[in-house]
Structure formats: C-alpha cells, structure tokens
Amino acid sequence: MKREIKFQIKALKKLGKGLKVYYDKSGSLTYLVPDECRAVLIYKRDFFLDTDQLYPNNTLADMFRPENLSATYKLKISDDMKKTNSVTALALVCDQFTTWVNEKWFKELKDKSALIYAKDEKSPVYLVHNNIIYAVIMPINLNEKD
C-alpha cells in the first residue's frame, strides 16, 4: 500500500477518536499531519480525505519549502538505537551532530532512495526524493534519564 494512503488511513482513525488532524493545501499538493510529530506531502491525485473534517494549518506548507534545505547537513542512518519508556529512538548522524527520531515512524516514512537532512539535532528532519521534501519528522529529545 502506498505511503500516502497509509497516512490518510491513520488520519481517519485519529478523526474517528475525535482527535484533530491538520492539513494545508498549495496548488496540487496537500500537506497532512497524521500525528503530532510527522507531516507528509500528498499529491492531489492521491488525496481522498474530506477536508471539511480536517483542521487547516496555513503554515504547514512552509515546512516543505526547498529553501529549508539550505544550511542543512546530510544524515546517515546509524545502527545506534535507544529504548525509552515509550519508543525506540533511531540515531541519524553526520560529522556535526547526532539526532534521534522515533524508529517506527521514521521507517514508515523512509523511501530507499530518499536523502535525509537536518540543520541540527533539534531541528526537523527532512526526507527528500528527487529534490522534493516529501516528509518531515520531528526529532526526539533524549534527556539524561533516557
């Protein structure tokens, strides 16, 4: 099943529980936040949700602007993982820093040919395919206790 469909199904389940799902539209693109820490780009041809049931977020498309990739570093997936109370954190590394993301959520987003970028360990992580940001995931803040 295509990633775009999976995330819309996740959004429907969230709506079914009475929770908010945010979106933004820009031309033939829709940006969807299926949960609190990820956003995905969905082309019009693949978008089937009724936007009357969703909550608009007029700044969401800004996260997907190509200029967000300036001053970023290319990251690599590390074998390093840490278990926290609620999730397994996966390390994404470059020479300048290491950032941690929810391993399960990251793997649901990552395409084999995607490139991964971030500005620093606390900034959003951008997943890029053919020079287009197709997903954004927020890092996990691992504190001393984790």
Beta bridge partners of 116: 75, 127
Q: Give the C-alpha separation, 63 to 56, whole Å.
A: 15
pLDDT for 35: 83
| pTM confidence score | 0.92
The two structure tokens encoding residue 88: 């397994």
Look over the chain and give the mean of its residue pLDDT values, rounded to a whole number: 93
pLDDT for 41: 96
Mean pLDDT, rounded, for 45-65: 95
Whether pLDDT at 146 is above 70: no
Mean pLDDT, rounded, for 120-129: 96
Mean pLDDT, rounded, for 92-105: 96
Whether pLDDT at 68 is above 80: yes
Whether pLDDT at 105 is above 70: yes
Q: Tokens 């199904």, residue? A: 9
